[in-house]
A and B are shown apart, each in its own frame.
Chain A
Amino acid sequence: MKDKLPSELHQLLIHIPDTIAYLTPDLYFLDATDDYLSVMMKQRDEIIGKHVFEVFPDHETAINSVNRKKVRKCLEAAAETKQGQFLSALRYDMRKEDGVFGERYWEVKAKPVLDRAGNVQYLVFKPNDVTEREISKQALISEENKYRFLLNSLPQLIYTTDAAGSPTFFNQRWYTYTGSTAELLGNDNWGSYIHPDDLAKVKEKSKYAIENGTEFQAELRIKNTQGTYRWFLTRSTPMRDQSGEIITRVGSSVDIQATRELVQELEQSYQQLSDMSDQVMEGYRKAESERKTLHNLIMKAPVFFCVLRGPEHRYELMNEQYQKLFPNRDLIGQSVAEALPEVAEQGFVKVLDGVYATGKEYIAECISVKLDRYGNGKLEDMTLTFMYQTIYDENNKPSGIMVCGFNVGEQVRSTNK
């Protein structure tokens, strides 16, 4: 032991209700308060006469904790300069009762006590355990970093302002999108990235929202690194503390350029489609009206008329005069060869095939044709003048044959009458 505490004050000194150790100028323990021993988890006889760093060795594997040098410097400086020394929070891990190091943080004060000759007689060493405060401070920093990371990874442009509307933070996406820097945006020149036509409106809305403590939304164009403006939907919301005071405003801007373009293109396309549909409808109505007129004309015409559809020459349509050639017979849907085998026998189906294949019209004038007019097997001689003419579809391919003519015999009879 290098020295002793004055015996008359010994009891008083070790019962001071604080964590204090009394050291020799060369850092050997003379004694310590009960509180000190309790906090350090040491017995009095474990420390008295021992060197400080023998009692509290470094936690060698925890780099942050190796602060022995700092503490030594602080204590030595107190001894050398004869001035009080202070070390702000530093990590200095200590062994727990089970011998394992525990994470600990300390603030250290060292004060020299001089003798009458002015030499350092004692060092009063007061470590203050600030572990709890430091750990919660670190947790807070880590939480802040987490939020910052989160805000920086979002695809939206995020910013915060103070209650008065001055910007306090822009996320990484803001810098990447605009190509700006923290210094530039910090100088309150964010407005230079907003389209001049939108800026006044945004400022007005923002001013109103700040004055009234409300949120605001606005569609505005923000300039990117290429100098091109894209449309964003921006929303700014006030954040309040427990007493309801606005502490900050959080703003986010979502790129709606693509959606906007798509929606407007769609609208134009559907509008065009709707206009075209109106035109088609109009055309259809007109065609329908003309078709009806034509249909009526054909149906009531004083000549016989029918339409044979396809290469098999199936009856599709016939007018009243044609029906009169075959009273009471239902020919629609039947082919000429099926319905009128006698006509096929007389070679007319071959003629129809020829007209269908070549598109060359066929005209027969006053020829005699035998017809089974009543479907009873009795053939009747008729004198007919008629023509076969090809009908073409919309692709200009033959689709049928139009038959048109008149019954010469009947005409002669009516003339004689």
Chain B
Amino acid sequence: MELAILDFQQLRIKHIAYKSKVRSVLYGGSYENGYFQNSNPVALWFIETGNLKYRHEPRFEKLKKLHQQFSKLSEELVAIYQNDLIEQAHNGLVDLNALSDLFLQELAAAEQVYIR
């Protein structure tokens, strides 16, 4: 049980770190290909932990889908920023935050099952 809670906590921290990374890139921080593509820590969590241990959870697919939407929007905003539409990219953070809120709500609900 405790391990599951730690797993979900990890997902939460990785998601927030990912969000802050996107925000940082949109404010001039460095863009690392790896972070945004095959070695994205949240995507790795789903591959290495989520798919193996929690795929039976009713909320798992929804959580995964929300992450994919979040990831797709992140990529789009970075592309907009790199295209010199900086204000538009900053404005897009509102939508990204809304997706993040949904993701964190879903995560909290999935985690609740393991909290006694």
Contact = CB atoms under 8 A, between A and B. Distances in A.
The answer to whether A and B belong to the same complex is yes
Interface of A: 205, 216-219, 231, 233, 235, 256, 259-260, 263-264, 266-267, 269-271, 273-274, 277-278, 280-281, 284-285, 288
Contact of B3 (A263, A270, A277, A284): A284
Interface in B1-36: 3, 6, 9-10, 13-14, 16-17, 20-21, 23-24, 26-29
Interface stretch (B50-58, B81-89, B103-111): B81-89
Given A217-B86, A218-B84, A278-B10, A267 B23 contact: yes
B84 A205 contact: yes
The B contact surface, by secondary structure, is helix
A289 to B, nearest CB: 11
Contact of A273 (B17, B23, B27): B17
Contacts of A281: 6, 10
Most chain B beta-carbon contacts within 10 A, residue among A217, A256, A259, A260 = A217
B24 to A, nearest CB: 4
A282 to B, nearest CB: 11
B35 to A, nearest CB: 10
B28 A231 contact: yes
A219 B27 CA distance: 9
A274 B27 contact: no
Interface size class of B (residues with CB under 8 A): 20 to 34
B84 A271 contact: no
Contacts of A267: 17, 20-21, 23-24, 29
Nearest to A235: B87
B20 A217 contact: no
A270 B13 contact: yes
B23 A263 contact: yes
B3 A264 contact: no
A217 B13 contact: no
A264 B25 CA distance: 9
Contacts of A278: 10
Given A256-B27, A270-B16, 8 more contacts: A263-B26, A263-B27, A264-B29, A270-B13, A271-B21, A273-B17, A274-B41, A277-B10
B9 to A, nearest CB: 7
A274 B21 CA distance: 12
A288 B28 CA distance: 42
Contact of B28 (A219, A271, A273, A280): A219
B84 A274 contact: no
A267 B29 CA distance: 9
**Top 8 closest pairs, chain A to chain B, by CB:** A267-B24, A270-B17, A274-B17, A267-B20, A263-B27, A270-B20, A260-B27, A217-B86
Interface core residue of B26, B28, B41 (most chain A CB under 10 Å): B28
A33 B29 CA distance: 79
B103 to A, nearest CB: 15
Contact of A266 (B9, B24, B41, B86): B24
A204 B104 CA distance: 43
Interface in B73-107: 84-87
A172 to B, nearest CB: 24
B3 A219 contact: no
A259 B86 CA distance: 14
A235 B10 CA distance: 40
Contacts of B87: 217, 233, 235
A285 B4 CA distance: 12
28 contacts: A216-B84, A217-B84, A217-B86, A218-B84, A231-B28, A260-B27, A260-B28, A263-B23, A263-B24, A263-B27, A263-B29, A266-B23, A266-B24, A267-B21, A267-B23, A267-B24, A267-B29, A270-B13, A271-B17, A273-B17, A274-B13, A274-B14, A277-B9, A277-B10, A277-B13, A281-B6, A284-B3, A284-B6
